[in-house]
Structure 1
Protein backbone atom coordinates (compact mmCIF):
# COMPACT_ATOMS: atom_id res chain seq x y z
CA UNK A 1 0.00 0.00 0.00
CA UNK A 2 0.97 3.67 -0.20
CA UNK A 3 3.84 5.03 1.88
CA UNK A 4 2.99 8.69 1.23
CA UNK A 5 1.85 9.88 4.63
CA UNK A 6 -1.15 9.02 6.74
CA UNK A 7 -3.84 10.15 4.27
CA UNK A 8 -4.99 8.45 1.11
CA UNK A 9 -7.17 11.27 -0.26
CA UNK A 10 -7.46 14.91 0.74
CA UNK A 11 -10.26 17.06 -0.68
CA UNK A 12 -9.50 20.79 -0.47
CA UNK A 13 -12.15 23.49 -1.04
CA UNK A 14 -13.79 21.64 -3.93
CA UNK A 15 -16.75 23.29 -5.66
CA UNK A 16 -18.70 21.93 -8.61
CA UNK A 17 -21.11 23.83 -10.82
CA UNK A 18 -23.59 22.46 -13.34
CA UNK A 19 -24.52 25.57 -15.24
CA UNK A 20 -25.98 27.94 -12.65
CA UNK A 21 -26.50 25.16 -10.09
CA UNK A 22 -23.75 24.69 -7.51
CA UNK A 23 -23.68 21.05 -6.41
CA UNK A 24 -20.60 21.37 -4.16
CA UNK A 25 -19.53 24.43 -2.15
CA UNK A 26 -15.92 24.54 -0.90
CA UNK A 27 -16.04 20.91 0.29
CA UNK A 28 -13.04 19.71 2.32
CA UNK A 29 -12.26 16.44 4.10
CA UNK A 30 -9.38 13.99 4.60
CA UNK A 31 -9.59 10.22 4.18
CA UNK A 32 -7.08 8.37 6.43
CA UNK A 33 -5.11 5.56 4.82
CA UNK A 34 -6.60 2.16 5.66
CA UNK A 35 -9.93 3.56 6.81
CA UNK A 36 -13.51 2.86 5.86
CA UNK A 37 -14.64 6.43 5.30
CA UNK A 38 -18.39 7.04 5.33
CA UNK A 39 -19.98 9.97 3.52
CA UNK A 40 -23.35 10.53 5.18
CA UNK A 41 -25.97 12.82 3.75
CA UNK A 42 -29.48 13.10 2.42
CA UNK A 43 -30.25 12.36 -1.21
CA UNK A 44 -29.03 15.30 -3.27
CA UNK A 45 -26.53 16.48 -0.64
CA UNK A 46 -23.57 16.11 -3.01
CA UNK A 47 -22.23 12.65 -2.11
CA UNK A 48 -22.34 11.21 -5.63
CA UNK A 49 -20.82 14.35 -7.15
CA UNK A 50 -17.75 14.32 -4.89
CA UNK A 51 -17.32 10.57 -5.43
CA UNK A 52 -17.33 11.07 -9.19
CA UNK A 53 -14.70 13.78 -8.79
CA UNK A 54 -12.51 11.66 -6.49
CA UNK A 55 -12.70 8.69 -8.87
CA UNK A 56 -11.70 10.87 -11.83
CA UNK A 57 -15.04 10.71 -13.66
CA UNK A 58 -15.54 14.48 -13.36
CA UNK A 59 -13.38 17.53 -12.72
CA UNK A 60 -14.09 20.12 -10.01
CA UNK A 61 -15.01 23.67 -10.94
CA UNK A 62 -12.68 24.88 -8.18
CA UNK A 63 -10.47 23.29 -5.55
CA UNK A 64 -8.15 20.29 -5.57
CA UNK A 65 -8.01 16.60 -4.67
CA UNK A 66 -4.67 15.29 -3.35
CA UNK A 67 -3.83 11.60 -3.47
CA UNK A 68 -1.42 9.73 -1.20
CA UNK A 69 -0.75 7.16 -3.94
CA UNK A 70 -0.39 6.96 -7.72
CA UNK A 71 -4.03 7.54 -8.63
CA UNK A 72 -3.27 7.82 -12.36
CA UNK A 73 -2.10 4.21 -12.56
CA UNK A 74 -4.88 2.22 -14.23
CA UNK A 75 -6.76 0.12 -11.69
CA UNK A 76 -5.44 1.89 -8.59
CA UNK A 77 -8.86 3.46 -7.99
CA UNK A 78 -11.86 1.14 -8.08
CA UNK A 79 -15.25 2.81 -8.29
CA UNK A 80 -18.87 1.74 -8.13
CA UNK A 81 -20.73 5.01 -8.56
CA UNK A 82 -24.48 4.70 -9.01
CA UNK A 83 -25.52 1.45 -10.78
CA UNK A 84 -22.75 -1.00 -11.79
CA UNK A 85 -22.12 -1.28 -15.55
CA UNK A 86 -22.90 -4.96 -16.05
CA UNK A 87 -23.39 -6.94 -19.26
CA UNK A 88 -26.71 -8.61 -18.42
CA UNK A 89 -26.47 -11.36 -21.05
CA UNK A 90 -23.10 -12.59 -19.81
CA UNK A 91 -21.96 -14.48 -16.72
CA UNK A 92 -20.23 -12.95 -13.73
CA UNK A 93 -16.90 -14.35 -14.91
CA UNK A 94 -17.41 -12.97 -18.43
CA UNK A 95 -18.07 -9.54 -16.95
CA UNK A 96 -14.79 -9.66 -15.05
CA UNK A 97 -12.94 -10.85 -18.16
CA UNK A 98 -14.27 -7.82 -20.05
CA UNK A 99 -13.16 -5.54 -17.21
CA UNK A 100 -9.67 -7.09 -17.21
CA UNK A 101 -9.45 -6.52 -20.97
CA UNK A 102 -10.51 -2.87 -20.55
CA UNK A 103 -7.72 -2.39 -17.99
CA UNK A 104 -5.16 -4.24 -20.08
CA UNK A 105 -4.73 -6.94 -17.43
CA UNK A 106 -3.69 -10.54 -17.99
CA UNK A 107 -6.60 -12.96 -17.88
CA UNK A 108 -5.65 -15.36 -15.08
CA UNK A 109 -6.87 -17.16 -11.95
CA UNK A 110 -7.24 -13.87 -10.05
CA UNK A 111 -10.63 -13.49 -11.77
CA UNK A 112 -11.94 -16.64 -10.08
CA UNK A 113 -10.36 -15.52 -6.80
CA UNK A 114 -12.30 -12.25 -6.92
CA UNK A 115 -15.54 -14.07 -7.70
CA UNK A 116 -15.03 -16.37 -4.72
CA UNK A 117 -14.19 -13.38 -2.52
CA UNK A 118 -17.51 -11.67 -3.29
CA UNK A 119 -19.49 -14.90 -3.01
CA UNK A 120 -20.15 -15.42 -6.71
CA UNK A 121 -17.76 -18.30 -7.34
CA UNK A 122 -20.53 -20.82 -7.92
CA UNK A 123 -22.72 -18.85 -10.33
CA UNK A 124 -21.27 -20.63 -13.37
CA UNK A 125 -22.83 -19.60 -16.68
CA UNK A 126 -25.84 -17.90 -15.09
CA UNK A 127 -26.47 -14.58 -16.79
CA UNK A 128 -25.92 -11.49 -14.66
CA UNK A 129 -29.32 -10.21 -15.74
CA UNK A 130 -30.84 -13.01 -13.66
CA UNK A 131 -28.95 -11.99 -10.52
CA UNK A 132 -30.65 -10.49 -7.48
CA UNK A 133 -29.88 -6.86 -6.62
CA UNK A 134 -27.46 -7.97 -3.92
CA UNK A 135 -25.63 -10.27 -6.35
CA UNK A 136 -25.37 -7.46 -8.90
CA UNK A 137 -23.94 -5.16 -6.24
CA UNK A 138 -21.35 -7.79 -5.28
CA UNK A 139 -20.46 -8.26 -8.95
CA UNK A 140 -20.06 -4.50 -9.26
CA UNK A 141 -17.67 -4.53 -6.30
CA UNK A 142 -15.69 -7.40 -7.88
CA UNK A 143 -15.41 -5.37 -11.10
CA UNK A 144 -14.26 -2.32 -9.14
CA UNK A 145 -11.55 -4.49 -7.56
CA UNK A 146 -10.02 -5.46 -10.90
CA UNK A 147 -6.47 -4.10 -10.92
CA UNK A 148 -6.09 -4.48 -7.12
CA UNK A 149 -7.03 -0.89 -6.20
CA UNK A 150 -5.65 1.02 -3.25
CA UNK A 151 -8.99 2.79 -2.89
CA UNK A 152 -12.51 1.48 -3.43
CA UNK A 153 -15.20 4.14 -3.96
CA UNK A 154 -18.76 2.89 -3.45
CA UNK A 155 -21.86 5.05 -3.87
CA UNK A 156 -24.86 3.75 -1.87
CA UNK A 157 -23.93 0.05 -2.26
CA UNK A 158 -26.59 -1.10 0.23
CA UNK A 159 -29.42 0.97 -1.23
CA UNK A 160 -32.47 -1.20 -1.93
CA UNK A 161 -31.01 -4.38 -0.44
CA UNK A 162 -32.88 -6.63 1.97
CA UNK A 163 -31.39 -7.15 5.49
CA UNK A 164 -29.49 -10.29 4.43
CA UNK A 165 -28.05 -8.49 1.41
CA UNK A 166 -26.93 -5.59 3.59
CA UNK A 167 -25.14 -7.97 5.97
CA UNK A 168 -23.38 -9.70 3.05
CA UNK A 169 -22.12 -6.41 1.61
CA UNK A 170 -21.06 -5.20 5.07
CA UNK A 171 -19.12 -8.40 5.78
CA UNK A 172 -17.48 -8.27 2.34
CA UNK A 173 -16.30 -4.68 2.73
CA UNK A 174 -14.96 -5.36 6.22
CA UNK A 175 -13.00 -8.30 4.85
CA UNK A 176 -11.58 -6.26 1.95
CA UNK A 177 -10.48 -3.54 4.34
CA UNK A 178 -8.90 -5.82 6.94
CA UNK A 179 -7.47 -8.61 4.78
CA UNK A 180 -6.55 -6.69 1.63
CA UNK A 181 -5.72 -3.35 3.24
CA UNK A 182 -8.01 -1.47 0.85
CA UNK A 183 -9.18 1.99 1.88
CA UNK A 184 -12.92 2.23 1.25
CA UNK A 185 -14.95 5.39 0.70
CA UNK A 186 -18.64 4.59 0.98
CA UNK A 187 -21.70 6.83 0.84
CA UNK A 188 -25.13 6.30 2.33
CA UNK A 189 -28.11 8.23 3.64
CA UNK A 190 -28.66 5.49 6.25
CA UNK A 191 -26.42 6.43 9.18
CA UNK A 192 -27.52 3.51 11.35
CA UNK A 193 -26.21 1.01 8.78
CA UNK A 194 -23.04 2.94 7.98
CA UNK A 195 -22.23 3.19 11.68
CA UNK A 196 -21.81 -0.62 11.77
CA UNK A 197 -19.08 -0.46 9.14
CA UNK A 198 -17.20 2.84 8.86
CA UNK A 199 -14.21 3.95 10.93
CA UNK A 200 -14.53 7.63 9.98
CA UNK A 201 -17.42 9.82 8.87
CA UNK A 202 -18.09 13.06 7.03
CA UNK A 203 -21.58 14.53 7.26
CA UNK A 204 -22.59 16.20 4.00
CA UNK A 205 -25.35 18.75 3.53
CA UNK A 206 -26.02 21.20 0.66
CA UNK A 207 -22.69 20.44 -0.97
CA UNK A 208 -20.60 20.99 2.15
CA UNK A 209 -18.99 18.80 4.79
CA UNK A 210 -20.43 20.11 8.04
CA UNK A 211 -18.66 17.69 10.36
CA UNK A 212 -15.99 14.98 10.38
CA UNK A 213 -16.06 12.45 13.20
CA UNK A 214 -14.38 9.19 14.23
CA UNK A 215 -16.38 6.02 14.85
CA UNK A 216 -15.30 6.10 18.50
CA UNK A 217 -16.92 9.51 18.91
CA UNK A 218 -20.06 8.42 17.11
CA UNK A 219 -20.45 5.47 19.47
CA UNK A 220 -21.12 7.95 22.27
CA UNK A 221 -23.96 9.57 20.32
CA UNK A 222 -26.64 6.92 19.95
CA UNK A 223 -28.27 4.83 22.68
CA UNK A 224 -28.54 5.37 26.43
CA UNK A 225 -26.00 7.70 28.02
CA UNK A 226 -25.87 8.13 31.80
CA UNK A 227 -24.11 10.78 33.86
CA UNK A 228 -22.94 9.48 37.22
CA UNK A 229 -21.99 12.05 39.86
CA UNK A 230 -19.69 10.73 42.57
CA UNK A 231 -16.77 11.82 44.69
CA UNK A 232 -14.82 8.65 43.85
CA UNK A 233 -14.96 8.21 40.06
CA UNK A 234 -11.82 6.06 40.05
CA UNK A 235 -13.75 3.43 42.06
CA UNK A 236 -16.99 3.76 40.10
CA UNK A 237 -15.50 3.28 36.62
CA UNK A 238 -14.40 -0.37 37.20
CA UNK A 239 -17.88 -1.13 38.59
CA UNK A 240 -19.56 0.26 35.48
CA UNK A 241 -17.11 -1.52 33.18
CA UNK A 242 -17.88 -4.81 34.93
CA UNK A 243 -21.53 -4.29 33.95
CA UNK A 244 -20.59 -4.01 30.28
CA UNK A 245 -20.81 -0.21 30.10
CA UNK A 246 -18.34 1.93 28.15
CA UNK A 247 -17.14 4.80 30.31
CA UNK A 248 -15.43 8.15 29.90
CA UNK A 249 -14.46 10.60 32.63
CA UNK A 250 -14.62 14.38 32.47
CA UNK A 251 -12.02 15.63 34.99
CA UNK A 252 -13.37 19.20 34.98
CA UNK A 253 -16.95 18.35 35.92
CA UNK A 254 -15.87 15.08 37.59
CA UNK A 255 -18.76 13.34 35.87
CA UNK A 256 -18.52 9.72 34.73
CA UNK A 257 -20.34 9.13 31.43
CA UNK A 258 -21.53 5.58 30.79
CA UNK A 259 -22.77 4.34 27.41
CA UNK A 260 -25.13 1.35 27.26
CA UNK A 261 -28.17 -0.20 28.89
CA UNK A 262 -28.12 -1.55 32.45
CA UNK A 263 -30.13 -2.32 35.58
CA UNK A 264 -29.78 0.72 37.85
CA UNK A 265 -30.47 -1.24 41.03
CA UNK A 266 -27.71 -3.70 40.23
CA UNK A 267 -25.26 -0.89 39.48
CA UNK A 268 -26.07 1.03 42.68
CA UNK A 269 -25.75 -2.17 44.73
CA UNK A 270 -22.40 -3.07 43.16
CA UNK A 271 -21.15 0.50 43.63
CA UNK A 272 -22.15 0.45 47.29
CA UNK A 273 -20.33 -2.82 47.82
CA UNK A 274 -17.23 -1.19 46.29
CA UNK A 275 -17.52 1.72 48.70
CA UNK A 276 -18.81 4.19 46.12
CA UNK A 277 -21.52 6.70 46.90
CA UNK A 278 -23.45 7.83 43.82
CA UNK A 279 -24.82 11.30 44.50
CA UNK A 280 -26.86 11.74 41.31
CA UNK A 281 -27.76 9.90 38.12
CA UNK A 282 -28.93 11.64 34.93
CA UNK A 283 -29.91 9.60 31.85
CA UNK A 284 -30.64 10.58 28.29
CA UNK A 285 -31.38 8.49 25.21
CA UNK A 286 -30.57 9.54 21.69
CA UNK A 287 -30.39 7.79 18.34
CA UNK A 288 -28.12 8.28 15.36
CA UNK A 289 -30.88 9.61 13.13
CA UNK A 290 -31.72 12.31 15.68
CA UNK A 291 -28.05 13.24 15.80
CA UNK A 292 -27.93 13.41 12.00
CA UNK A 293 -31.04 15.60 11.80
CA UNK A 294 -29.67 17.99 14.43
CA UNK A 295 -26.46 18.34 12.43
CA UNK A 296 -28.07 19.05 9.07
CA UNK A 297 -31.32 20.63 10.24
CA UNK A 298 -34.81 19.70 9.09
CA UNK A 299 -36.11 16.17 8.65
CA UNK A 300 -34.16 13.12 7.61
CA UNK A 301 -35.22 11.10 4.59
CA UNK A 302 -33.23 8.10 5.73
Structure 2
Protein backbone atom coordinates (compact mmCIF):
# COMPACT_ATOMS: atom_id res chain seq x y z
CA UNK A 1 0.00 0.00 0.00
CA UNK A 2 1.10 3.59 -0.68
CA UNK A 3 2.17 5.48 2.42
CA UNK A 4 0.38 8.80 2.69
CA UNK A 5 2.05 9.91 5.93
CA UNK A 6 5.39 8.68 7.23
CA UNK A 7 7.35 10.33 10.02
CA UNK A 8 10.84 9.33 11.08
CA UNK A 9 12.00 10.29 14.57
CA UNK A 10 9.59 13.23 14.66
CA UNK A 11 10.39 15.36 17.71
CA UNK A 12 9.27 18.69 19.12
CA UNK A 13 10.98 20.27 22.12
CA UNK A 14 10.12 23.41 24.00
CA UNK A 15 13.27 24.40 25.85
CA UNK A 16 14.41 21.05 27.27
CA UNK A 17 11.01 19.38 27.37
CA UNK A 18 10.07 16.93 24.59
CA UNK A 19 6.38 17.38 23.81
CA UNK A 20 6.69 14.88 20.95
CA UNK A 21 9.56 12.41 21.21
CA UNK A 22 10.85 10.53 18.14
CA UNK A 23 7.57 9.15 16.83
CA UNK A 24 7.35 7.10 13.63
CA UNK A 25 3.86 7.37 12.16
CA UNK A 26 2.82 5.19 9.24
CA UNK A 27 -0.52 5.90 7.51
CA UNK A 28 -1.42 4.16 4.27
CA UNK A 29 -3.73 5.18 1.46
CA UNK A 30 -7.40 4.66 2.35
CA UNK A 31 -6.76 4.39 6.09
CA UNK A 32 -8.93 5.98 8.72
CA UNK A 33 -6.15 6.38 11.26
CA UNK A 34 -7.21 7.04 14.83
CA UNK A 35 -4.56 9.08 16.63
CA UNK A 36 -5.29 8.52 20.31
CA UNK A 37 -3.97 9.82 23.58
CA UNK A 38 -4.95 11.62 26.78
CA UNK A 39 -5.25 15.39 26.76
CA UNK A 40 -1.76 16.87 26.66
CA UNK A 41 -0.19 13.73 25.17
CA UNK A 42 1.15 15.54 22.08
CA UNK A 43 -1.62 14.91 19.53
CA UNK A 44 -2.26 18.51 18.48
CA UNK A 45 1.47 19.33 18.42
CA UNK A 46 2.03 16.39 16.07
CA UNK A 47 -0.83 17.48 13.83
CA UNK A 48 0.47 21.05 13.70
CA UNK A 49 3.86 19.73 12.57
CA UNK A 50 2.18 17.60 9.88
CA UNK A 51 0.40 20.71 8.62
CA UNK A 52 3.55 22.82 8.61
CA UNK A 53 2.18 25.14 11.29
CA UNK A 54 5.12 24.54 13.62
CA UNK A 55 8.64 23.37 12.83
CA UNK A 56 9.91 20.05 14.23
CA UNK A 57 12.95 20.11 16.48
CA UNK A 58 14.18 16.92 14.82
CA UNK A 59 13.05 14.17 12.47
CA UNK A 60 11.46 14.04 9.06
CA UNK A 61 7.90 14.22 7.73
CA UNK A 62 7.06 12.57 4.41
CA UNK A 63 3.58 13.16 2.98
CA UNK A 64 2.53 11.70 -0.38
CA UNK A 65 6.07 10.30 -0.56
CA UNK A 66 7.69 13.75 -0.42
CA UNK A 67 9.64 15.58 2.28
CA UNK A 68 7.35 18.22 3.80
CA UNK A 69 10.29 20.51 4.58
CA UNK A 70 11.23 20.65 0.88
CA UNK A 71 7.79 20.48 -0.78
CA UNK A 72 5.54 22.27 1.71
CA UNK A 73 3.33 24.28 -0.64
CA UNK A 74 2.66 21.44 -3.10
CA UNK A 75 1.97 18.96 -0.31
CA UNK A 76 -0.42 21.26 1.57
CA UNK A 77 -2.51 21.70 -1.58
CA UNK A 78 -3.49 18.05 -1.22
CA UNK A 79 -4.45 18.27 2.47
CA UNK A 80 -7.71 19.37 4.06
CA UNK A 81 -7.74 19.99 7.79
CA UNK A 82 -9.87 20.93 10.76
CA UNK A 83 -7.82 21.79 13.83
CA UNK A 84 -9.77 22.56 17.00
CA UNK A 85 -12.96 24.50 16.26
CA UNK A 86 -13.91 25.57 12.72
CA UNK A 87 -13.92 29.23 11.76
CA UNK A 88 -16.91 30.61 9.87
CA UNK A 89 -18.83 33.77 9.06
CA UNK A 90 -21.83 33.69 11.38
CA UNK A 91 -23.87 36.24 9.45
CA UNK A 92 -23.55 34.31 6.18
CA UNK A 93 -25.44 31.17 5.23
CA UNK A 94 -23.82 27.77 4.92
CA UNK A 95 -23.81 28.12 1.15
CA UNK A 96 -22.28 31.60 1.32
CA UNK A 97 -19.54 30.42 3.69
CA UNK A 98 -18.52 27.62 1.35
CA UNK A 99 -18.78 29.87 -1.71
CA UNK A 100 -16.47 32.44 -0.12
CA UNK A 101 -13.88 29.78 0.64
CA UNK A 102 -14.27 28.29 -2.85
CA UNK A 103 -13.33 31.64 -4.35
CA UNK A 104 -10.40 32.11 -1.97
CA UNK A 105 -9.10 28.64 -2.90
CA UNK A 106 -9.74 29.40 -6.60
CA UNK A 107 -11.69 26.18 -7.05
CA UNK A 108 -12.95 26.50 -10.62
CA UNK A 109 -15.92 24.13 -10.39
CA UNK A 110 -18.88 26.30 -9.28
CA UNK A 111 -20.95 23.18 -8.59
CA UNK A 112 -18.43 22.12 -5.94
CA UNK A 113 -20.27 23.94 -3.13
CA UNK A 114 -23.51 22.06 -3.74
CA UNK A 115 -21.58 18.78 -3.98
CA UNK A 116 -19.99 19.48 -0.59
CA UNK A 117 -23.30 20.46 0.99
CA UNK A 118 -24.74 17.13 -0.14
CA UNK A 119 -21.70 15.21 1.15
CA UNK A 120 -21.86 16.80 4.61
CA UNK A 121 -25.66 16.59 4.81
CA UNK A 122 -26.37 20.33 4.94
CA UNK A 123 -28.27 20.81 1.67
CA UNK A 124 -31.52 21.54 3.49
CA UNK A 125 -29.74 24.08 5.74
CA UNK A 126 -27.72 25.81 3.01
CA UNK A 127 -29.73 29.05 3.27
CA UNK A 128 -29.70 29.19 7.07
CA UNK A 129 -27.36 31.63 8.84
CA UNK A 130 -24.43 29.73 10.29
CA UNK A 131 -24.75 31.51 13.64
CA UNK A 132 -28.03 29.61 13.99
CA UNK A 133 -26.43 26.22 13.23
CA UNK A 134 -26.06 23.63 15.97
CA UNK A 135 -22.52 22.73 17.06
CA UNK A 136 -22.72 19.49 15.08
CA UNK A 137 -23.76 21.39 11.94
CA UNK A 138 -20.87 23.81 12.40
CA UNK A 139 -18.46 20.89 12.69
CA UNK A 140 -19.85 19.37 9.50
CA UNK A 141 -19.48 22.74 7.80
CA UNK A 142 -15.87 22.86 8.97
CA UNK A 143 -15.25 19.45 7.43
CA UNK A 144 -16.97 20.70 4.27
CA UNK A 145 -14.53 23.61 4.08
CA UNK A 146 -11.66 21.12 4.46
CA UNK A 147 -13.07 19.07 1.56
CA UNK A 148 -13.56 21.97 -0.85
CA UNK A 149 -10.16 21.61 -2.48
CA UNK A 150 -10.69 17.87 -3.16
CA UNK A 151 -7.89 16.78 -0.80
CA UNK A 152 -6.23 13.37 -0.87
CA UNK A 153 -5.63 13.59 2.88
CA UNK A 154 -7.95 14.90 5.59
CA UNK A 155 -6.57 15.66 9.07
CA UNK A 156 -9.14 16.23 11.82
CA UNK A 157 -8.22 17.24 15.38
CA UNK A 158 -10.88 16.14 17.90
CA UNK A 159 -13.82 16.72 15.46
CA UNK A 160 -16.43 15.30 17.87
CA UNK A 161 -15.24 17.27 20.91
CA UNK A 162 -18.17 18.86 22.76
CA UNK A 163 -20.87 17.29 20.58
CA UNK A 164 -23.96 15.53 21.88
CA UNK A 165 -24.51 11.84 20.94
CA UNK A 166 -26.53 12.79 17.87
CA UNK A 167 -23.83 15.16 16.63
CA UNK A 168 -21.11 12.57 17.28
CA UNK A 169 -23.00 9.99 15.21
CA UNK A 170 -23.44 12.45 12.34
CA UNK A 171 -19.71 13.23 12.22
CA UNK A 172 -18.82 9.55 12.57
CA UNK A 173 -21.02 8.49 9.66
CA UNK A 174 -19.65 11.32 7.51
CA UNK A 175 -16.03 10.35 8.22
CA UNK A 176 -16.65 6.64 7.57
CA UNK A 177 -17.98 7.20 4.07
CA UNK A 178 -15.23 9.52 2.80
CA UNK A 179 -12.54 6.89 2.03
CA UNK A 180 -15.01 4.63 0.21
CA UNK A 181 -16.80 7.32 -1.79
CA UNK A 182 -13.94 9.72 -2.49
CA UNK A 183 -10.71 7.79 -1.84
CA UNK A 184 -9.65 10.15 0.93
CA UNK A 185 -7.19 9.06 3.60
CA UNK A 186 -8.13 10.34 7.06
CA UNK A 187 -6.18 10.99 10.24
CA UNK A 188 -8.43 11.75 13.19
CA UNK A 189 -7.23 12.57 16.69
CA UNK A 190 -9.24 11.81 19.81
CA UNK A 191 -8.89 10.97 23.49
CA UNK A 192 -11.80 8.50 23.29
CA UNK A 193 -10.94 5.00 22.11
CA UNK A 194 -14.59 3.95 22.11
CA UNK A 195 -15.33 6.65 19.55
CA UNK A 196 -12.35 5.91 17.29
CA UNK A 197 -13.12 2.17 17.48
CA UNK A 198 -16.29 2.80 15.49
CA UNK A 199 -14.46 4.62 12.68
CA UNK A 200 -10.80 3.70 12.38
CA UNK A 201 -9.12 0.66 10.84
CA UNK A 202 -5.72 1.59 12.28
CA UNK A 203 -4.73 3.16 15.59
CA UNK A 204 -1.72 5.02 16.95
CA UNK A 205 -1.59 5.73 20.69
CA UNK A 206 0.60 8.56 21.96
CA UNK A 207 1.34 9.14 25.63
CA UNK A 208 3.66 11.76 27.11
CA UNK A 209 4.96 12.46 23.62
CA UNK A 210 5.82 8.85 22.78
CA UNK A 211 4.07 6.55 20.34
CA UNK A 212 3.40 3.47 22.46
CA UNK A 213 1.18 1.52 20.05
CA UNK A 214 0.58 1.52 16.30
CA UNK A 215 -1.26 -1.25 14.49
CA UNK A 216 -4.57 -2.37 13.05
CA UNK A 217 -7.47 -1.96 15.45
CA UNK A 218 -8.00 -5.73 15.35
CA UNK A 219 -4.80 -6.06 17.37
CA UNK A 220 -6.29 -4.00 20.18
CA UNK A 221 -9.47 -6.05 20.00
CA UNK A 222 -7.36 -9.20 20.29
CA UNK A 223 -5.77 -7.84 23.48
CA UNK A 224 -9.22 -7.16 24.91
CA UNK A 225 -10.47 -10.71 24.24
CA UNK A 226 -11.82 -12.39 27.40
CA UNK A 227 -9.54 -14.70 29.39
CA UNK A 228 -10.39 -17.60 31.68
CA UNK A 229 -8.67 -17.91 35.08
CA UNK A 230 -8.74 -21.31 36.79
CA UNK A 231 -7.60 -21.99 40.36
CA UNK A 232 -6.67 -25.62 41.04
CA UNK A 233 -4.81 -27.55 43.73
CA UNK A 234 -1.78 -28.19 41.49
CA UNK A 235 -1.35 -25.34 38.95
CA UNK A 236 1.96 -26.61 37.54
CA UNK A 237 0.51 -30.03 36.71
CA UNK A 238 -2.62 -28.44 35.23
CA UNK A 239 -0.48 -26.22 33.00
CA UNK A 240 1.59 -29.18 31.81
CA UNK A 241 -1.50 -31.25 31.01
CA UNK A 242 -3.18 -28.47 29.04
CA UNK A 243 0.00 -27.40 27.27
CA UNK A 244 0.46 -31.01 26.16
CA UNK A 245 -3.06 -30.83 24.72
CA UNK A 246 -1.94 -27.88 22.58
CA UNK A 247 -3.72 -25.20 24.62
CA UNK A 248 -2.17 -21.78 25.23
CA UNK A 249 -1.97 -21.75 29.02
CA UNK A 250 0.10 -19.50 31.29
CA UNK A 251 0.73 -19.64 35.01
CA UNK A 252 0.22 -16.41 36.98
CA UNK A 253 2.29 -15.33 39.95
CA UNK A 254 -0.63 -15.95 42.32
CA UNK A 255 -0.96 -19.61 41.27
CA UNK A 256 -3.79 -19.42 38.73
CA UNK A 257 -3.68 -20.79 35.23
CA UNK A 258 -4.85 -18.41 32.51
CA UNK A 259 -6.26 -19.47 29.16
CA UNK A 260 -6.87 -17.14 26.21
CA UNK A 261 -10.14 -18.89 25.46
CA UNK A 262 -13.75 -18.19 26.35
CA UNK A 263 -15.54 -20.66 24.09
CA UNK A 264 -18.01 -22.61 26.26
CA UNK A 265 -17.17 -25.99 24.74
CA UNK A 266 -13.42 -25.37 25.20
CA UNK A 267 -13.88 -24.36 28.86
CA UNK A 268 -16.03 -27.45 29.46
CA UNK A 269 -13.33 -29.63 27.88
CA UNK A 270 -10.63 -28.07 30.10
CA UNK A 271 -12.66 -28.58 33.29
CA UNK A 272 -13.44 -32.20 32.39
CA UNK A 273 -9.81 -32.88 31.43
CA UNK A 274 -8.48 -31.60 34.76
CA UNK A 275 -11.09 -33.48 36.80
CA UNK A 276 -10.21 -36.75 35.00
CA UNK A 277 -6.59 -36.15 36.03
CA UNK A 278 -7.70 -36.06 39.68
CA UNK A 279 -7.13 -32.29 40.02
CA UNK A 280 -9.43 -30.27 42.27
CA UNK A 281 -10.91 -27.16 40.63
CA UNK A 282 -11.62 -24.39 43.13
CA UNK A 283 -12.72 -21.62 40.79
CA UNK A 284 -13.28 -20.83 37.09
CA UNK A 285 -13.55 -17.11 36.41
CA UNK A 286 -13.87 -15.07 33.19
CA UNK A 287 -11.99 -11.78 32.90
CA UNK A 288 -13.44 -9.30 30.43
CA UNK A 289 -11.53 -6.18 29.39
CA UNK A 290 -12.99 -3.52 27.14
CA UNK A 291 -10.94 -1.63 24.58
CA UNK A 292 -11.26 1.37 26.86
CA UNK A 293 -9.74 -0.65 29.72
CA UNK A 294 -6.80 -1.57 27.48
CA UNK A 295 -6.34 2.06 26.41
CA UNK A 296 -6.44 3.40 29.96
CA UNK A 297 -4.10 0.69 31.18
CA UNK A 298 -1.38 1.25 28.60
CA UNK A 299 -1.52 5.05 28.82
CA UNK A 300 -1.37 4.81 32.61
CA UNK A 301 1.71 2.60 32.40
CA UNK A 302 3.19 4.57 29.51
CA UNK A 303 4.89 1.47 28.09
CA UNK A 304 5.20 0.32 24.51
CA UNK A 305 2.95 -2.64 23.78
CA UNK A 306 3.33 -5.20 21.05
Q: TM-score, normalised by structure 1?
A: 0.78
Q: In 1, Cα distance between the equivalents of 2:131 and 2:272?
A: 63
Q: Which entry has the higher C-alpha Rg, 1 or 2?
A: 2
Which of 263, 285, 288 is the aligned partner of 2:288? 285
How do residues 41-120 of structure 1 correspond to structure 2 at under 5 angstroms? 41-68=37-64, 72-73=74-75, 75-120=77-122
Once the two structures are TM-superposed, the CA of residue 62 in structure 1 deviates from its matched residue by: 1.1
Partner SS state of residue 110, structure 2? coil
Matched, 1:32 2:34: no
Once the two structures are TM-superposed, the CA of residue 124 in structure 1 deviates from its matched residue by: 3.1
How many residues end up aligned between the 2 structures?
A: 264
Corresponding position of 2:185? 183
Counterpart contact for 2:248–2:260, Cα < 8 Å: no
Corresponding position of 1:294? 297
Counterpart contact for 2:203–2:216, Cα < 8 Å: yes
Corresponding position of 1:15? 11
More helix by share: 2
| Pairwise CA RMSD | 2.8
Q: In 1, Cα distance between the equivalents of 2:296 and 2:76?
A: 39
Unaligned runs of 5+ in 2: 67-71, 231-244, 250-258, 275-283
Partner SS state of residue 220, structure 2? helix
Q: TM-score, normalised by structure 2?
A: 0.77
Which of 137, 140, 143 is the aligned partner of 1:138? 140
Counterpart contact for 1:91–1:127, Cα < 8 Å: yes
Partner SS state of residue 80, structure 2? strand
Q: 1:173 to 1:10 in 2, by over 3 A?
A: same
Partner SS state of residue 206, structure 2? strand
Once the two structures are TM-superposed, the CA of residue 192 in structure 1 deviates from its matched residue by: 0.9
Once the two structures are TM-superposed, the CA of residue 226 in structure 1 deviates from its matched residue by: 5.1
Once the two structures are superposed, what CA deviation does each residue of 1:148-185 show, in whole Å capped at 9, x if it has no partner?
A: 11110000011111111111111111110111111100
Q: 1:213 to 1:252 in 2, by over 3 A?
A: farther
Once the two structures are TM-superposed, the CA of residue 129 in structure 1 deviates from its matched residue by: 1.4
Judge which range, 210-219 or 131-140, deviates more: 210-219
Q: In 2, Cα distance between the equivalents of 1:219 and 1:33?
A: 22
Q: In 2, Cα distance between the equivalents of 1:25 and 1:31?
A: 18
Partner SS state of residue 176, structure 1? helix
Unaligned runs of 5+ in 1: 229-250
Q: In 1, Cα distance between the equivalents of 2:107 and 2:29?
A: 26
